Structure 1
Amino acid sequence: MVKKKGTALQPAEFKNTTLSRLGSADRFFRTTSFKLALAYVVIVGVGFTLALSRVGENVRELIDQQIGQTLEAELKGLNDQYQEGGLNQLVNVVQRRSTAPGASIYLVTAPNGAAVAGNVQELPPGVLDQTAPAAVAISYERPGEPNVRRRALARVFVLPGNFRLLVGYDLEDRDRLGSILGSALMGSLPWLLSIGAFGGFLVARRLLQRVDAMSAKAATLLQADLTGRLPLSGAGDEIDRLAHNLNAMLDRIARLVEGIKQVSDNIAHDLRTPLTRLRNNAEHALFARDGDSAARPAALEQALEKVIEEADGLIRIFNALLLIARAEASSSSSEGFAELDGAALAADVAELYEPSAEERGVTLKVEAPEAEKFRGHRELVSQALANLIDNALKYGEPTLPGELGEVTVAVGGDARFIEIAVGDRGPGIPAADRERVLERFVRLEASRSRPGSGLGLSLAAAVARLHGGTLRVEDNAPGLKVTLRLPREASQ
């Protein structure tokens, strides 16, 4: 007979596999879910034991109470028999009842302690002297059962002539019921613990699988892959809520990383031109130094003014970037927030731009019929509103010849939000570009020839996000309307 070749693991492979399994089992037993399941099984087992023990005690108390009531009724009936027919009738009744099947015991004794009638053969010394009104526990022997000690609850009644009557109830049934309950406890407790342990194992295993899936996905995120997200089971439990919040955090991190990358690219692209102009103006000032002595001061002054102008422009750009970064970094904090009046704030900012509006021949109006209270950051909201008005004045010139320019700042809202809308009568922005203009350094082709950095709307959008609000870019028919919508109560 030819033996088939086996596929047994080599010693090293077997060792690695065994260690892997042991490590996996050890990791499972160290999980919080397994510990919680184990604690739950122990608590259920202890609770079940205490509950069943309490049930046994209540059953015993109920049986003892019923026995006491039965003994009271027996004594009353026998006492009536004694009163009616004397000792002889009592003895006859006791003798008849003693032979009937049941758990009741009876004994009538003479003054010298000798048994006259009953189904009790022997009692411990002193039992007949216990004439308390409540039943007491005794031990006794029945006729025909020598050396078999039984337990009973009994009462002793003293008759005239020092005769004594003992009426009791055997506790064999009560003890048997207690034994049944004890057996039920001992028999069902292992099953309960086994089922609980098995259920805890399944629950812990399920939780561990979900946690392992989340850990595996998190490991991929550590490799700079921010596109992945933690898996959701759809159960809506606390693990799903945790994964949802972590995914939201990852979304925000991805946006910030993308924003940093975009800002870096935009800075490299859009600051090249002003830096080049700054260098050229400085170079022109250097060349003017060697020119005609009469024209030298004027040429130097003109060149330095251009250098200062370009430097101021660069400073404005970096200030705007810092304000945006500050707003985005403070997106989870309400530090610096105070109670503000939107109407007064709009009027104050518009007043600063009235001279510029007059120079451009544009009418600047503020429509704020009443105070509009809200909580916000005064400096950032003022800067955002200033950017919106400045954009409206620069890009909102009428398209038709002879038409007068108009910029309107309207303040309103509802019970939950305040809205500050800045509208103009200019050419507006195509619908396809209204979301894109909220990004940093984005300037449409129509505005390339005008001064600006493309950061005004980005700052306003960042301020809106800081307050838990939104910035809407809409058609003003004709013109453009940009609405800053902020909650009246600061978001937590």
Structure 2
Amino acid sequence: MTAFGKLIRTTAFRLTLVYLFLFALFAASLLGYFAWNTRRLINEQITTTVNAETAEIETIYARRGLRGLSLTLAYRALRPGANLYLVTTPEGRSFGGNVESLSPGVMASTGWSETAYRRLDEQDSANHRALVRVTELTDGFRLLVGRDLEERRRLFGIVAKAAQWSLLVVIVLGIGGGIFVARRVLRRIDAMTGTTRRIMAGDLSGRLPVGRSGDELDRLAENLNAMLERIEALMMGLKEVSDNIAHDLKTPLTRLRNRAEEALASSGSEAEYRAALERTIEESDGLIRTFNALLMIARAESGQARGNMDDFDAADVAKGIHELYEPLAEDDGMTLRVRTGTARLHGNRELISQALANLVENAIKYGKPSPVVQPLDPAAAARTREVLIEARREGDRVLLSVTDHGPGIPEGDRKHAVERFVRLEASRTLPGSGLGLSLANAVATLHGGELRLGDSRPGLTATLVIPALSAAGDRLAAQTPDVPQKVA
């Protein structure tokens, strides 16, 4: 398709033609109304003038007879810009006036008519148009008084010429403006098309150009760029997951295979085979947990879990996690406490529970204080081995936090800590897959919130920040009694 063909097929050019047609139609209607109204006004002025003069001449005839009528017509015919006058006898012959010829039948009937005429003093044979009134005098004489319509014709000529030039200017400017607008829009669309082709070719870093006008194309480009950024992030996440699975799961799979091979080669008794199988099952369970965590993260990041959202109180989730993990914390020498208030939200209860459980597991596993900084006071030492779960509302957000008093995470590593399979140096000697914080971050993002990692001096405070219920939900929740704060 040629460049001109693309140009005239653009929506902007077609809309310009539509607006041009409507504007031209409006301009023509306006000029037509002006011309019609002007014609009406001129006709009214002519009829008023002719009626007044006819009445004067009839009065003169009634008082002074034919002689006075003849002298009056002769005098008035000599004035500049004189009207048309003609008196005929009952036989139809001209008796006086300044009209030489009329259209046939004009003097045959009384009343108003528009006729062609020629004056007595005109040398050429050109006919003019006039609006005349014929009245019947006494004794069968007839009087014609009229006025030339040249003024009306000139005005119509001016209006017609103005209309022609106006329409010509409108058409030229409209088509020129349409071509300018269409070319401008087409350039932007072509730029967007080129970017989309690069993206389809695999360059996900491409972004649509955004101008400074803030028009609908800029808003569309901004929204599409936001969508492309999200797609690029998802694709990068998929690539990272693939790479991480290839690297981080290769070691446990290799270890699983080696143990099975070792059992086949060296085990001789049933007890040794059973022990080898138990280690294999334990390793397989760890792999299954890793894949389940990856699937859960994928569900959260893709938004597939939004269909299972409901209204619930985050305090109930915090209490359930406390009850579930309290024995595990005690076995590990830690104390697990919970503090809750009413904190209703709308979300996926299963995912939020899993995210909070991951934070609690991390706090129990990595939140033990360093032996070299243990306080001498037994009460203070007990507080350093305490993990606190909190669920509370703060403004229009619900905060689910887990606080420990361990070594924490350095501020420079906190952004890196929420990535998949990332394990910091302090935790590499402990079992784990490095997916706990990544899952919690994905769940918070799914619910329109965020995961915050802060310093509890000493230790780490990991907080799920999730939007609370809407005002309508709050009114509904207000109908039920609040759960008082409780320290367990």
In the superposition, the TM-score normalised over structure 2's length comes to 0.80
SS at the partner of 1:426?
coil
Q: Residue 411 of structure 1 aligns with which residue? A: 392
SS at the partner of 2:102?
coil
Shift of residue 47, structure 1, vs aligned partner: 3.1
Matches within 5 A, 1:222-237: 222-237=200-215
Letter in 1 for 2:237: G
Instruction: Check if 1:311 corresponds to 2:287.
Output: no
Partner deviation per Cα, 1:218-237 (whole Å, 9 max, x = no partner): 44444433334333343333
User: CA 1:249 to 1:38, structure 2 compared with 1: closer, same or farther past 3 Å?
Assistant: closer
Q: Residue 474 of structure 2 aligns with which residue? A: none
For 2:317 and 2:361, the matched residues in 1 are separated by 15
SS at the partner of 1:127?
coil
User: CA 1:59 to 1:27, structure 2 compared with 1: closer, same or farther past 3 Å?
Assistant: closer
CA RMSD of aligned residues (A): 3.3
Q: Is the 8 A contact 1:343 1:411 kept in 2?
A: yes
Q: Is the 8 A contact 2:454 2:460 kept in 1?
A: yes
Partner deviation per Cα, 1:206-225 (whole Å, 9 max, x = no partner): 44444444444444444433
Shift of residue 412, structure 1, vs aligned partner: 1.2
Letter in 2 for 1:438: V
Q: Residue 267 of structure 1 aligns with which residue? A: 245
Matches within 5 A, 1:337-352: 337-352=309-324
Matches within 5 A, 1:278-427: 278-283=256-261, 285-286=263-264, 290-291=268-269, 296-297=270-271, 299-330=272-303, 334-372=306-344, 374-399=345-370, 400-401=373-374, 402-404=381-383, 405-415=386-396, 417-427=397-407
Partner deviation per Cα, 1:95-135 (whole Å, 9 max, x = no partner): 44433233743444444444444433333344346556xx5
User: CA 1:127 to 1:347, structure 2 compared with 1: closer, same or farther past 3 Å?
Assistant: farther
Q: Residue 423 of structure 2 aligns with which residue? A: 443
SS at the partner of 2:442?
helix
Letter in 1 for 2:315: A
Q: Is the 8 A contact 1:49 1:185 kept in 2?
A: no
Q: Residue 123 of structure 1 aligns with which residue? A: 102
Letter in 1 for 2:3: R
User: CA 1:489 to 1:153, structure 2 compared with 1: closer, same or farther past 3 Å?
Assistant: farther
Letter in 2 for 1:484: L
Q: Residue 34 of structure 2 aligns with which residue? A: 58
User: CA 1:114 to 1:355, structure 2 compared with 1: closer, same or farther past 3 Å?
Assistant: farther
For 2:33 and 2:77, the matched residues in 1 are separated by 30
Letter in 2 for 1:350: H
For 2:193 and 2:313, the matched residues in 1 are separated by 48
User: CA 1:382 to 1:95, structure 2 compared with 1: closer, same or farther past 3 Å?
Assistant: farther
Letter in 2 for 1:475: D
Q: Is the 8 A contact 1:108 1:117 kept in 2?
A: yes
SS at the partner of 2:408?
coil
SS at the partner of 1:403?
helix
Instruction: Check if 1:142 corresponds to 2:122.
Output: no
Letter in 2 for 1:345: V
Instruction: Check if 1:251 corresponds to 2:222.
Output: no
Letter in 1 for 2:295: L
For 1:414 and 1:130, the matched residues in 2 are separated by 95
Matches within 5 A, 1:85-100: 86=62, 88=64, 93-100=72-79
Letter in 1 for 2:159: L
Matches within 5 A, 1:129-208: 131=110, 136-145=113-122, 147-159=125-137, 163-208=141-186
Shift of residue 136, structure 1, vs aligned partner: 4.4
Q: Is the 8 A contact 2:389 2:400 kept in 1?
A: no
Q: Residue 482 of structure 2 aligns with which residue? A: none
For 1:476 and 1:104, the matched residues in 2 are separated by 108
**Residue-pair matches, total:** 456
User: CA 1:439 to 1:72, structure 2 compared with 1: closer, same or farther past 3 Å?
Assistant: same
Q: Residue 18 of structure 1 aligns with which residue? A: none
SS at the partner of 2:100?
coil
Q: Is the 8 A contact 1:131 1:155 kept in 2?
A: yes
For 1:85 and 1:144, the matched residues in 2 are separated by 25
Q: Percent identity?
A: 45
For 1:152 and 1:58, the matched residues in 2 are separated by 22
Partner deviation per Cα, 1:8-43 (whole Å, 9 max, x = no partner): xxxxxxxxxxxxxxx7xx134224665633662474
Q: Is the 8 A contact 1:33 1:203 kept in 2?
A: no
SS at the partner of 1:435?
helix
Shift of residue 270, structure 1, vs aligned partner: 1.9
Partner deviation per Cα, 1:129-161 (whole Å, 9 max, x = no partner): 6556xx543333332447533223334444455
User: CA 1:93 to 1:328, structure 2 compared with 1: closer, same or farther past 3 Å?
Assistant: farther
Q: Is the 8 A contact 2:366 2:406 kept in 1?
A: yes
For 1:143 and 1:202, the matched residues in 2 are separated by 60
Which runs of 5 or more structure 1 residues have no equivalent in the other structure?
Answer: 1-22
User: CA 1:371 to 1:422, structure 2 compared with 1: closer, same or farther past 3 Å?
Assistant: same
User: CA 1:147 to 1:49, structure 2 compared with 1: closer, same or farther past 3 Å?
Assistant: farther
Shift of residue 334, structure 1, vs aligned partner: 4.3
For 1:466 and 1:309, the matched residues in 2 are separated by 32
Q: Is the 8 A contact 1:45 1:189 kept in 2?
A: no
Q: Is the 8 A contact 1:105 1:168 kept in 2?
A: yes
Q: Is the 8 A contact 1:38 1:197 kept in 2?
A: no
Letter in 2 for 1:458: S
Q: Is the 8 A contact 1:395 1:426 kept in 2?
A: yes
Q: Residue 11 of structure 1 aligns with which residue? A: none
In the superposition, the TM-score normalised over structure 1's length comes to 0.80
Letter in 1 for 2:252: P
For 1:371 and 1:281, the matched residues in 2 are separated by 48
Q: Residue 48 of structure 2 aligns with which residue? A: 72
Letter in 2 for 1:127: V
Letter in 2 for 1:464: A
Q: Is the 8 A contact 2:343 2:393 kept in 1?
A: no
Which runs of 5 or more structure 2 residues have no equivalent in the other structure?
Answer: 375-380, 471-488
Letter in 1 for 2:303: S
Instruction: Check if 1:240 corresponds to 2:218.
Output: yes
